[in-house]
Chains A and B, each alone.
Chain A
Amino acid sequence: MRWFETPSFDFIKYHNIAYFISGALVIGSIVAILTMGLNYGIDFRGGKEFVFQFESPVSVTDIRNELTEPLGSTPEIKLFGSESEILIRTDAEGDITEVSDIIMSTVTAMYPDNPVSIQKTDLVGPRFADDLRRGAINSIFFALAVVFIYIFIRFKGWYFSAGAIAALAHDVLIVLGIFTVMGEIAPFNVSIDQAIIAAFLTIVGYSLNDTVVVFDRIRENSIVYKTMEFKEMINKSLNDTLSRTVITSVTTLFVVLVLFIFGGEVLKGFAFALVLGIILGTYSSLFVASSLVVELQKRAMNKAKS
């Protein structure tokens, strides 16, 4: 079986459309993040989180209303996996035992015939949350810096580094934007916690994987086809590696989709970030990173001439 045996798509030709789509998505994401705020989970915000399991389905809205008064603030409540499991997130003051007792007694009073048990409790102190957040932000920036340096050394051109970093920032920003917008509507937990940061860095790694493979071919072709126009050569490199890009993306995407669908509630948000990341990572390697390299290289050349 063979796909894309000898493709000859003109990727660079579509770069204006790609820039438009990417630009719109990035700007939309930034606007969403600025207006709605990042949807931090308790890891980065501090607070208390519980998963309660009932024997039969319960009403999230009823529980939210009933709990608001005893907790002193409206808790965030979501279904967790099934209709009879709920996730409660609150920043109510007090010892974690006190808070879980309050919730427990309230829900038992509401559903006396529906036995309930605690599946999971998480507490993160506000100071600790600050530390975790700082660590996460540092790790993302540090990762980008290391990637920039590595590509710079390996490919000997700052425009390769810049193209790759721009593509990565593009992917991460859009996933963040989608997570922000989905905060309220997603039927699963999409708040940004430590696991999501791990997913982001994996996206960085994956998107890079794709980009580097294309760059590698560009480097090879630029030695073999010395006289070819830079734009042409990039197009050729993209086409040469297209079969591999598609196969790898499809298989990886498939595995991550399986994880998203069957991997259990705890991994849903994490797997979702990876699904988005792989789609975006593939797209950005094909349409954003390379086009940017062409553009930046052209400018660098013009500057050198003048």
Chain B
Amino acid sequence: MKNQNNGFKIGSIVVFLGLTLWYLFPTIQWSLEQRHMESLTETELVRYQSDNNEKLQSLRERSLKLGLDLQGGMYVTLQIGEPQLILELAGDNADDELEQIINVAEEQAVQNNTDFVDEFVSEFEARNPDGLLSRYYRSDAENITRRSTNEEIATYLRTQRDSAVTRAMEIIRSRVDRFGVSEPSIVQQGTNRIIVELPGVDDEERVRDLLRGTARLEFRMAAEPDEINASKQQISTYFQENREELEEQGMQNLLDIFSFQGVSQYSFGYAAETDTAAVNRLLSMEEVQRLIPRNTVLMWGARPFAFDSGTGLVELIAVRSQIELTGDVITEARVAFEPTTNAAEVSMTMNSEGARRWSRITGANIGRPVAIVLDGYVESYPTVQNQINNGRSSITGIGGVQEAEDLVNILLSGALPAPLDIVEERTVGASLGEASIQAGLYSVIFGLSVVAIFMIVYYRVGGAIADLALILNIIFILGILAGFQATLTLPGIAGIVLTIGMAVDANVLIFDRIREEMRGGKTLRAAIDNGYSNAMSAIIDANVTTFFVAIILYSFGVGPIKGFAITLMAGIVASLFSAIVITRVVVDYLTREKTADVSFG
């Protein structure tokens, strides 16, 4: 009976160890490959990588992943702009009341931590007890009609939101792929958030633009210079006359941070890049808005046109509110170079419908500038020289080739269905990651060694057996992590260190119990049997409770905490196995003779 039982235990050890090595093997191979590739020269490397592309890729995918905190890189959480999406879905039916409802719903959703759509519907119903949301949302394609119930509309809105998130993820994936990051990770979190992990990336600003750009391209005509001048005059007078009053209210004066001087006759003026938010605030004042012509909107230039003591100066451009053409007619975009200056630009081709309208627009506006607006910023406003019939247009004035490439990439990936806000962003420099991994690793090795020595000194042979279990324990943890495709993070390393401390616990419980039983006069064999069985309930209870805590950590935590929780769970499973099964097999083997003399200290 005993032998059979041990046979089963040995079998499970072999299986467990085999699985672990199977899952860890790619990691070992991958690190050997990496070492090999580091020794190659640039040309050899390119060659080697293209020759072994498939093999390398599969190794990388199957090897143990390091968290961004260990290898450096960027972690971004994006949240889809549900309010904007829901407003936009209403299209022309939107009115002031809808906007108010959306604003209130947004606040409510934040305050109560509830679903935005729920808040939206309940706010609407509170204002219109018998009203139907179908007043705003009627689309024949989505099975909703004028008579649809509010519940049906809510379902429709949720579906739209979910599909917007899915589409946004696809678009981001395509943008990131073009950006050329190895092993990016893009996952959805909850209903409205997307987590993007970009290992090794440190060009934060470029990534931010890439992720957030909605790629909403519009063509608008520039406003009339006469109207602009009149409006400038009035606004400047307003701020001059009300200077004192505004100052009393603690407000900045527009005249201090904004210059009404035009870079061209279509520009409203300019300000330092860092002041644009403040200028926007001042210009959005009701008294000021009245002084701006009805059919005119002011938009900032996408890039600084000049630098003044280190800060960029950006232009505020007056354009028509009417959108002549949107980016969905663009079928192709590529980087081109202006022949005379050799400056990078983005050249775009339109579909036939777009080309026809573009031809009409350019034909009617020769000699006047047309603004190319991307995500609410004016990319450029070239003057129409002659009617354009072939559906071509280009964005000029771009900073460099890289920026032109990013722009092409954003345009080609398509427009995001709704704006995305960055709600969380973490960047770890590669060198900090390396320092962390080293510090963590050394701590593990040092802590492990001292505990191992202590165990041998304190428990003699028993201690040595426990140490063996401890080493296998660590290998198991890594194997489990690799097998579950989990990511090793810094808190994860801390989790391993902690498990090392706690893994000893099971053995301490058992060995102390064995000593106790021997003190009670039992033979070695009997003491071992009793020791193991009597210690078991304490070991199980203690580990099960800790495992529960780990599960809770896993389900509530995000990012690095999840990594810690996984390591903790893996650690508990591994340490239970190694402390109960492995040490038992070894102890049984050593005490198989009746006269065996194994010391537990």
Q: How many A-B residue pairs have CB under 8 A?
A: 234
Tell me the interface secondary structure of chain B in the complex. helix
Q: State the Cβ distance, A290 to closest chain B Cβ, in Å.
A: 15
- Would you list which residues of chain A between 251 and 286 have a CB under 8 Å from chain B? 251-256, 258-259, 262-264, 266-267, 270-271, 274
**Is A120 within 8 A of B429, CB to CB?**
yes
Judged by a CB distance under 8 angstroms, whether B423 is at the interface is yes
Q: How far is the CA of A216 from the CA of B428 in the complex (A)?
A: 45
19 extra interchain contacts, Cβ-Cβ under 8 A, other than A134-B113, A255-B497?
A105-B310, A120-B429, A125-B79, A125-B424, A139-B556, A194-B557, A195-B560, A212-B545, A213-B542, A251-B451, A251-B454, A251-B455, A252-B498, A256-B498, A258-B446, A259-B443, A259-B494, A262-B446, A264-B435
**Is B549 within 8 A of A201, CB to CB?**
yes
Q: How far is the CA of A266 from the CA of B428 in the complex (A)?
A: 11
Residues of B within 8 A of A253 (CB): 501
A sample of 27 cross-chain residue pairs with beta-carbon separation below 8 angstroms, ordered by A number, consists of A1-B458, A6-B519, A51-B429, A51-B432, A53-B429, A97-B208, A98-B273, A119-B429, A120-B432, A121-B426, A121-B427, A125-B422, A134-B113, A146-B548, A150-B545, A195-B561, A197-B557, A212-B541, A213-B541, A241-B512, A251-B451, A255-B498, A259-B494, A262-B442, A266-B436, A267-B494, A270-B491
Judged by a CB distance under 8 angstroms, whether B509 is at the interface is yes
Judged by a CB distance under 8 angstroms, whether A205 is at the interface is yes
Judged by a CB distance under 8 angstroms, whether A73 is at the interface is no
> Which 8 A-B pairs rank lowest in CB-CB distance, beginning with the nearest?
A264-B439, A252-B501, A139-B556, A255-B447, A125-B423, A205-B546, A128-B423, A216-B538
**Is A195 within 8 A of B451, CB to CB?**
no
Q: State the Cβ distance, B557 to closest chain A Cβ, in Å.
A: 7
Q: Which residue of B79, B429, B519 has the most chain A CB atoms within 10 A of its CB atom?
A: B429
Residues of A within 8 A of B439 (CB): 262-264, 267
**Is B498 within 8 A of A274, CB to CB?**
yes
Judged by a CB distance under 8 angstroms, whether B95 is at the interface is no
**Is B425 within 8 A of A121, CB to CB?**
yes
> Which of A135, A147, A258 makes the CB contact (< 8 A) with B545?
A147
In the complex, which residue of chain B has the Cβ closest to the Cβ of A95?
Answer: B208
Residues of B within 8 A of A143 (CB): 548-549, 552-553
Judged by a CB distance under 8 angstroms, whether A9 is at the interface is no
**Is B501 within 8 A of A198, CB to CB?**
no
Q: How large is the interface on A (under 10, 10 to 19, 20 to 34, 35 or more residues)?
A: 35 or more
Residues of A within 8 A of B490 (CB): 266-267
Judged by a CB distance under 8 angstroms, whether A76 is at the interface is no
Q: State the Cβ distance, A16 to closest chain B Cβ, in Å.
A: 28
> Which of B69, B542, B545 makes the CB contact (< 8 A) with A266?
B69
**Is B497 within 8 A of A146, CB to CB?**
no
Binary contact track B515-534/A, C-beta < 8 Å → 1, others 0: 11001000000000000001
Residues of A within 8 A of B443 (CB): 258-259, 262-263
Q: State the Cβ distance, B473 to closest chain A Cβ, in Å.
A: 13
**Is B110 within 8 A of A130, CB to CB?**
yes
Judged by a CB distance under 8 angstroms, whether A74 is at the interface is no
Stretch of A18-26, A181-189, A242-250 that contacts chain B: A242-250
Are A259 and B512 also in contact (CB < 8 A) when A123-B422, A146-B548, A201-B552 are?
A: no
Judged by a CB distance under 8 angstroms, whether A142 is at the interface is yes
- Would you list which residues of chain A between 153 and 180 have a CB under 8 Å from chain B? 154
In the complex, which residue of chain B has the Cβ closest to the Cβ of A50?
Answer: B427
Residues of B within 8 A of A139 (CB): 552-553, 555-557
Judged by a CB distance under 8 angstroms, whether B564 is at the interface is yes
**Is A194 within 8 A of B561, CB to CB?**
yes
Judged by a CB distance under 8 angstroms, whether B274 is at the interface is yes
**Is A216 within 8 A of B424, CB to CB?**
no
In the complex, which residue of chain B has the Cβ closest to the Cβ of A121?
Answer: B427
> Which of A102, A142, A262 makes the CB contact (< 8 A) with B556?
A142
Residues of A within 8 A of B501 (CB): 248, 251-256
Q: How far is the CA of A151 from the CA of B542 in the complex (A)?
A: 10
**Is A96 within 8 A of B542, CB to CB?**
no
**Is B500 within 8 A of A208, CB to CB?**
no
Are A205 and B491 also in contact (CB < 8 A) when A213-B542, A248-B508 are?
A: no
Residues of A within 8 A of B537 (CB): 216, 220
**Is A97 within 8 A of B502, CB to CB?**
no
